Amino acid sequence: MGISSKTNLSTKHKTTISLAASYRGLSAAFSLNPAKMKGVYKDFELNLNYFSSRISLDFSYQRSESLSGEINLDGRIENIQPEDVALKIVNIAGYYAFNHRKFSFPAAFNQNYIQHRSAGSWLAGISYQGGSIITTEDLKTRRPEAHEVSFKFGHLGIGGGYGYNLVLGKKWLLHLSALPTIVVYNRNKLIIDGEEMGAKHMRFHMIFNERAAVIYNISKRYFAGATLVMNNSVYDNDVGIINQNKWRVRAFVGLRL
């Protein structure tokens, strides 16, 4: 079967209001999404985080049917509308900070600590990304001629990176870190119209995790700031090239008890 296609899909943006608490590295939050309460937004997302001086863990799960965009299929443009495609994806990233005595992830991401001097650290880490992208019955009902596509994947990566906390004027903390990982194990399954498409040669296969934060310590008790967490992946083989990007921005004010 010779099918050439290029697809650009994106989910709806989500805006939430949250109340969060942290204790000894563990964070829990209750989020309220006004659009979901009105029935406009139907996607689901779960994020769990753990931060300590040495080890940090990120877990996120997303279930979405709001993917929309275009597919260029053998030169013919097809529009993908919300609920035509179902996405399920899990991202897991674990970090180990070698310079954990001077460099603090918690100071940047859950504010349990205040870092007083600038410091950086080399990072070792592991990443996992798995999930599925499947066309739905809604697409088949709306366009009977559309191809039935099922893509299931699981990728495990190992790598290293670097993080840095820059302290300015004893009040400001700026954080940047990146953890690229090379995929050492992958399991992909692509089925189009009931026929499995086999991948034979992997040319490029990586998962990237990036973080940024701006924190202002108003006092020893009160603080405010914003954080950015991104997960990116690039998979290139004989079947095709897949580039997946997920990002989350959080702005907050808080206090230490």
Q: Which residue from 149, 148, 172, 242 is spatially nearest to 203, judged by alpha carbons?
A: 242
Element of type H or E holding 141: helix 137-142
pLDDT tens digits, 238-247: 656 677 888 8
**C-alpha distances out from residue 123 to 28, 63, 64, 98, 181, Å:** 25, 30, 32, 6, 11
Could you name the CATH architecture of 5-255? Beta Barrel (2.40)
Averaged pLDDT, groups of 10, the chain, 257 residues long: 63 72 66 61 78 88 81 69 84 94 90 89 94 82 77 90 94 95 85 70 79 92 91 73 82 85
> pLDDT value at position 97?
95
> pLDDT value at position 26?
64
- The SS3 of residue 194 is coil
> pLDDT value at position 37?
58
**C-alpha distances out from residue 37 to 16, 28, 31, Å:** 11, 21, 12
> pLDDT value at position 41?
60
> pLDDT value at position 75?
66
Domain ranges of the chain: 5-255
* Residues 64, 85 contacting (CB under 8 angstroms): no
Kindly state the tokens that stand for 38: 């009105």
> pLDDT value at position 39?
60
pLDDT tens digits, 59-79: 888 888 777 777 766 666 777
pLDDT tens digits, 90-130: 999 999 999 999 999 988 988 888 889 999 999 999 999 98
Cross-strand bridge partners of residue 69: 9, 80
**C-alpha distances out from residue 79 to 26, 70, 142, Å:** 42, 5, 11
Cα–Cα distance measured from residue 81 to residue 154, given in angstroms and rounded to the nearest whole number: 26
Cα–Cα distance measured from residue 99 to residue 83, given in angstroms and rounded to the nearest whole number: 46
